[in-house]
Amino acid sequence: MKTWNFGVLGLGKIAKRFTDAFQYVPRARVHAVASRDGNKAREFAEAHHISTYYASYEELVSDPAIDIIYIATPHPFHHEQTLLCLHHKKAVLCEKPFAMNTRQVQEMISLGRRSNVFLMEGMWSRFFPSTHKALELVRSGAIGELQYLHADFGFVAPVNLDGRVYNPALGGGAQLDVGVYPMFLALLFLGKPDEIKAICQKTNTGADATTSALLRYSNGAIAHIMSSIVTDTPKEAHLMGTTGVITIHTPWHKSQQVTWRSNAGEKKEFSFPHSGNGFEFEIEEIVRCLDAGKTESELMPHSLSLMMAEVADEILQQGDIRY
Ligand SMILES: NC(=O)c1ccc[n+]([C@@H]2O[C@H](COP(=O)([O-])OP(=O)(O)OC[C@H]3O[C@@H](n4cnc5c(N)ncnc54)[C@H](OP(=O)(O)O)[C@@H]3O)[C@@H](O)[C@H]2O)c1
């Protein structure tokens, strides 16, 4: 069977971790990488034993040997670079957040469909065995009706006013950087909320330092999600139902352990040890989709990315955060 050729666009921190994961996926490989800086591209390629490297993103998307491009640049560039790839009929895996706002996400999805190529947001947490197990437990009724979901993701980012995390021009702030994870979990389990109440504390740069939101659902459920770039939070997720509770243990967005407890005092623990850094699960899903000729993943569909963009827009607007 075919081995799928990836191209990596933008060679920062996450590009390295993503590339490292290919050793655990037999039928996918990084064929070429591209940086705005030719020396950086050469050094990255040599360090990862990759034969082809480019000093521009345009050369990468023009390489006929590449099947799919992984976009690993700061968020404000995701929209234009995804469109660039799609115009060249390249499939795309674009890092989270998919783009800066709903309008951009709509344009990306629309062009993806017209181009008839695979397009997916790189929400890697979706593909971990721990996420699959929590979904399976909830769907099987193991906690009765889901009533309350709590998930957090906060870390202390080194203060660098020009860096990606603090600089609004580079999409800085907690919600778009790590707030997408708890928001994703709430929308995965509960869907689109009927009401959102959000507050943000700002950094001096105007990005959100800490963001907290309550999501209300007409079926009675509530989700509480929070994110921060100025405090290190437990990074646990709890799914509380009428008959029990599921905990996705820290760090829940890439967890190796899930615990189920019933109100009656029963308890089961599920462990998912793995040797790679976790990106292998996302790459494996892409291989499955490309093998099947799909243009979107059923696990991380366009509709979920669009919903995430809409909810993020509302949270940021209520928090008076403007890019
Ligand atoms: N899935 C995850 O676990 C995860 C984790 C961290 C980050 N991310 C996402 O991945 C994306 C990149 O994050 P990162 O931490 O890898 O960022 P980073 O280290 O700052 O690297 C981003 C890369 O983007 C390229 N770039 C293009 N235009 C740029 C510009 N004007 N300013 C700065 N860089 C520019 C640069 O590559 P060249 O110089 O090579 O062109 C740079 O090295 C973000 O959207 C983030 O949300 C995902």
What pLDDT score was predicted for residue 287? 98
Does the structural domain 128-273 have CATH classification 3.30.360.10?
yes
Rg (Cα) of the chain, in Å, rounded?
20
- Name the CA dihedral angle for 130, 131, 137, 143, rounded to a multiple of 10 degrees: 100
Could you tell me where in the chain the CATH 3.30.360.10 domains are found?
128-273
Strands (E) in 83-133, as ranges, are 91-95, 119-122
Measured in Å, residue 9 CA sits from the centre of ligand 1 at 9
pLDDT digits (tens, 9 = 90+) for 255-300: 999 999 999 999 999 999 999 999 999 999 999 999 999 999 999 9
Q: Where in the chain is the domain with CATH 3.40.50.720?
A: 4-122
Pick the CATH number of 4-122 from 3.60.70.12, 3.40.50.720, 3.40.50.2300, 3.20.20.140: 3.40.50.720
Residues 277 and 274: their CA atoms lie apart, in Å, by: 8
Kindly report, residue by residue over 69-85, the tens digit of the pLDDT.
Answer: 999 999 999 999 999 99
User: Atom 33 (ligand 1): residue with closest C-alpha?
Assistant: 74
Question: What's the gap in Å between 77 CA and the centre of ligand 1?
Answer: 9
Task: State pLDDT tens for residues 22-40.
Answer: 999 999 999 999 999 999 9
Model confidence at 318, in pLDDT bands (50, 70, 90)?
Answer: very high
Question: Does an H or E element contain 149, and which?
Answer: strand 146-154
- For residue 319, give the amino acid letter: G
CB of 14 shorter than 6 A to ligand 1? yes
Sorting pLDDT into bands at 50, 70 and 90, what band is 322?
A: confident
Going across the sheet that includes 222-228, the strands are 195-202, 208-216, 222-228, 146-154, 237-241, 244-248, 257-262, 267-271
- Residue 252 pLDDT > 90, yes or no? yes
Q: Which atom of ligand 1 is nearest to the CA of 171?
A: 45
Distance 217 CA to ligand 1 centre (A): 35
Q: pTM, whole model, 2 decimals?
A: 0.98
Bridge partners (DSSP) of residue 238 are 150, 247
Predicted confidence at residue 74, as pLDDT, reads 98
11 CB within 6 A, ligand 1: yes
